[in-house]
């Protein structure tokens, strides 16, 4: 059974987190090359699951459009928001306080070699976690990520007219793989300030019947971030059939 090292990086700017991911990713790839004469499982490979909370930042995936960022560079600076075009899949999204960003750095040859299954597995972790909180979720192909279905009879307050009548994205997913080693991951809105999403076209989706949400919005109150992380850790082990080592 693979062993995955869990590291909570706390609150960390995007650039050093990205640099650290890249460093670990390179280490895994180099280890694969050193043992290329062996099959996966015949040597000890390292795997990591990083969780982090970023200060406000927008990231644009390699298949996204810069036009989906609705602020100028001057406006970004005035609001204290950083911006990074990066090498993951997907379009533009937001990271910020109250959001759990997960970066699994796994050699998938030690698990399964199927990119679509990997993305579905990340979705499954989030869906099981939300189920623990009584939040209904679904997948909404061809879009990736985890969504909440319309709740037209919901009496909770809404940020905009018709909020509860829409499909609401609660977790965005964007990944990159090289030699079957993963980079990037998911952004799970727990207690996130959703107003930051007004300055982008989230994930490039401009449909009137779709918006974004958070666990706090779905429940009507904030949740303890550490407790949510523990649920994520539990379901990660179950979905990926692995052990977690906290460092």
Residues marked active site are found at 203
Cα torsion angle, 24, 29, 33, 37, sign: positive
| CA 208 to each of CA 103, 107, 136, 159: distance values in angstroms, whole numbers, following the listed order | 30, 39, 21, 15
Distance CA 95, CA 184 (A): 12
Q: What are phi and psi of 79, to 5 degrees?
A: -95, -5
Distance CA 193, CA 174 (A): 20
Burial environment of residue 60 by CB neighbours within 10 A (0 to 12, 13 to 18, 19 or more): buried
For residue 84 the two structure tokens come to 């990074």
């Amino acid at each position: 059974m693979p062993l995955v090292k869990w590291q909570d990086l706390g609150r960390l700017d995007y650039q050093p987190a990205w640099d650290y991911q890249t460093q670990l990713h390179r280490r895994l790839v180099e280890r694969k090359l050193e043992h290329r004469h062996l099959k996966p499982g015949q040597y000890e490979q390292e795997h990591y699951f990083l969780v982090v909370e970023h200060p406000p930042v927008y990231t644009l995936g390699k298949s996204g459009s810069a036009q989906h960022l609705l602020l100028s560079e001057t406006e970004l600076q005035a609001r204290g928001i950083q911006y990074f075009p990066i090498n993951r899949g997907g379009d533009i999204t937001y990271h910020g306080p109250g959001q759990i960003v997960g970066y699994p750095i796994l050699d998938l040859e030690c698990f399964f070699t199927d990119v679509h299954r990997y993305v579905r597995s990340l979705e499954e972790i989030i869906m099981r976690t939300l189920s623990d909180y009584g939040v209904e979720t679904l997948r909404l192909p061809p879009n990736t990520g985890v969504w909440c279905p319309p709740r037209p009879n919901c009496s909770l307050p809404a940020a905009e007219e018709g909020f509860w009548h829409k499909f609401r994205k609660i977790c965005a997913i964007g990944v990159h793989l090289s030699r079957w080693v993963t980079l990037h991951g998911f952004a799970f809105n727990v207690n996130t300030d959703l107003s930051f999403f007004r300055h982008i076209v989230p994930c490039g989706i401009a449909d009137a019947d779709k918006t974004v949400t958070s666990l706090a919005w779905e429940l009507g109150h904030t949740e303890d971030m550490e407790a949510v992380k523990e649920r994520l850790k539990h379901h990660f082990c179950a979905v990926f059939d692995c052990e977690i080592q906290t460092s």
